[in-house]
Amino acid sequence: MKVDRKVLRSISEFSLFKISLVAYLIFFILYIIIFAIAGLIGWAFLASTGMTFNDVVASFMPGFDIEQILSSMGMNLGGGLVSIIIFIVIGLVASVFAAALAALMTWIFNVVLRITGGVELRFTPEMKAASVEANLDKK
């Protein structure tokens, strides 16, 4: 069987940036959905028992007050809409930076490809459906 050999000399950084950005955004959306469901289940459980999140944390680490620590850092978010918006904006910015990092790694990979002369890729020709059936009939 004849094998076609081609050499990969570079990868487009922008196309990889677009692909990785879409992938990171999909993962971020899934992350939001999963943690929203987990948060709602946890909130429903805590509400049914009459406990608060601070009570749960204090039972594991006595004297540890999350609200006091956040307010001392100037982050008195209160768990409301503002904190959700901040979480989403930080996640979107992190997705863009992660995609930019993937593009940077692609650029470094392209430099290595130029130094080494590229990567040899081997492609086998596609088999037609009729030839596949003929090969199966022979067996």
pLDDT value, residue 78: 55
- 133 or 112, higher pLDDT: 112
| Range 88-112 average pLDDT | 91
Where residue 130 falls among pLDDT bands split at 50, 70, 90? low
Task: State the angle between helix axes of 13-49 and 81-116 in degrees (0 to 180), rounded to the nearest 10.
Answer: 150
CA angle 54, 79, 42 (to 5 degrees): 60
DSSP string over 53-101: HHHHHHHHSTT--HHHHHHHTT---TTSHHHHHHHHHHHHHHHHHHHHH
- Best CA proximity match to 90, nearest among 36, 23, 32, 16: 32
pLDDT digits (tens, 9 = 90+) for 15-65: 999 999 999 999 999 988 888 888 788 878 877 888 777 777 777 777 776
Give the pair of three-digit tokens for residue 92.
């979107």
% of the chain residues with pLDDT over 70: 76
With beta carbons less than 8 A apart as the criterion, state whether 8 and 118 touch: yes
CA dihedral 27, 28, 31, 35 (to 10 degrees): -170
Select the more confidently predicted residue: 68 or 48.
Answer: 48
Average pLDDT for the chain: 81
**Cα–Cα distance for residue pair 2/44, rounded to 1 Å:** 63
pTM: 0.60
- Domains of the chain by residue range: 4-138
Q: What is the pLDDT at residue 131?
A: 62
